């Protein structure tokens, strides 16, 4: 009886295992069927149109970005070129033309500054490598003085007594006035600096007020500086300014620069006029005005 019961239990167990296996196989098959199931699109043309539309939109966006980038690059290139041109122009712009002193007309102020009072000497012109020196330019075809220049120092200053002046420069038609004489024999480089006196290359017909006090005032500033030390030097240039072939200068330009400092630093033009008199600069004759 026990044997029959045992066999019955064994058969029942095998039956239950068989049922379990069938169920598992059905679930696996169902899962496989689900995983391999293909979803069919029943509207392929609509999908293609959507994809084509999306691609076109993306292409348009990329094209717009590319165009904008190219435009920006062109702007930067143009801006850079303009900046380069401006920079080049600022460094190559020609300086303004020098003032035409001969064309100036006296209007009540006898001494005026030139070039903002800057004498404008170059570094080479301010060299004292060769010590003090002086030079007087040759007379022109009308026998007129043309200018003088020097590197002034105590070593050039005279010690002998000054002799009387005898040279008559062009346009020398002098006359007495209530203050003395209309004209002076005016030195380009004052006698006190170099001792040059009766040097025709250093003398011009200048009015009393041009010679003194105006030229003398500037000369005394230079002389005071030179007397202060044997080591002091002043680059100095005086140029008579004529208009055309006139025999009397319209004025003189005086430029001076102390070496190693700006204690002496000027560039002035002095009109060759005399209050109360009208001068014929072609000849040197004059009359009371």
pLDDT score at 99: 82
Using 70 as the pLDDT threshold, list the residues of the chain that sit under it: 1-97
Is 59 domain-assigned? no
pTM summary value: 0.67
* Rounded-to-integer distance, Cα 166 and Cα 15, Å: 159
pLDDT score at 246: 98
Half-sphere exposure of 26 (CA within 13 A, CB side): 6
Structural domain span for residue 221: 111-160+168-288
Is 19 domain-assigned? no
pLDDT score at 6: 54
Is 63 domain-assigned? no
pLDDT score at 63: 59
**Nearest CA-CA partner of 272 in 182, 180, 175:** 182
Is 180 domain-assigned? yes
pLDDT score at 179: 86
**pLDDT (tens digit per residue) in 152-183:** 999 999 998 899 999 999 999 999 998 899 99
**pLDDT (tens digit per residue) in 68-85:** 555 555 555 554 454 444
What distance, in Å, lies between the first and last C-alpha atoms of the chain? 173
Phi/psi zone of residue 280: left (φ > 0), alpha (ψ -120 to 50 degrees), beta? beta
Is 152 domain-assigned? yes
* Rounded-to-integer distance, Cα 207 and Cα 185, Å: 9
> CATH number, domain at 238?
3.40.570.10
> Which DSSP category does 176 fall into?
E
Is 267 domain-assigned? yes
Is 35 domain-assigned? no
Who contacts 67 (Cβ-Cβ below 8 Å, separation ≥6)?
A: none
Number of domains in the chain: 1
Give backbone dihedrals phi and psi of 206, rounded to 5 degrees, phi first. Answer: -125, 145
The string of DSSP letters for 11-58 reads HHHHHHHHHHHHHHHHHHHHHHHHHTPPPPPS-HHHHHHHHHHHHHHH
Is 131 domain-assigned? yes
């Amino acid at each position: 009886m026990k044997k029959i019961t045992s066999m019955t239990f064994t058969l029942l167990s095998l039956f239950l295992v068989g049922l379990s296996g069938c169920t598992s196989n059905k679930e696996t098959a169902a899962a496989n069927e689900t995983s391999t199931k293909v979803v069919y699109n029943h509207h392929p043309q609509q999908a293609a149109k959507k994809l084509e539309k999306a691609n076109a939109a993306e292409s348009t966006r990329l094209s717009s970005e590319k165009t904008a980038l190219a435009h920006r690059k062109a702007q930067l290139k143009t801006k850079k070129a303009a900046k380069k041109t401006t920079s080049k122009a600022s460094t190559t712009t020609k300086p303004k033309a020098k003032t035409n002193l001969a064309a100036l007309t006296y209007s009540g102020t006898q001494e005026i500054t030139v070039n903002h009072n800057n004498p404008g000497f170059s570094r080479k012109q301010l060299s004292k490598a060769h010590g003090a020196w002086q030079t007087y330019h040759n007379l022109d075809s009308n026998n007129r003085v043309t200018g003088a220049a020097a590197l002034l120092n105590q070593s050039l200053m005279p010690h002998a007594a000054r002799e009387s002046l005898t040279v008559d420069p062009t346009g020398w038609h002098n006359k007495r006035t209530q203050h003395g004489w209309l004209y002076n024999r005016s030195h380009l480089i004052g006698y006190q600096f170099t001792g040059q006196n009766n040097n025709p290359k250093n003398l011009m017909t200048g009015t009393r007020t041009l010679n003194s006090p105006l030229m003398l005032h500037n000369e005394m500033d230079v002389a005071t500086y030179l007397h202060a030390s044997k080591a002091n030097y002043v680059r100095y240039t005086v140029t008579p300014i004529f208009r055309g072939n006139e025999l009397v200068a319209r004025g003189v330009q005086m430029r001076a620069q102390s070496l190693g400092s700006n204690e002496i630093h000027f560039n002035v033009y002095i009109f060759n006029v005399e209050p109360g008199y009208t001068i014929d600069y072609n000849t040197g004759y004059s009359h009371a005005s």
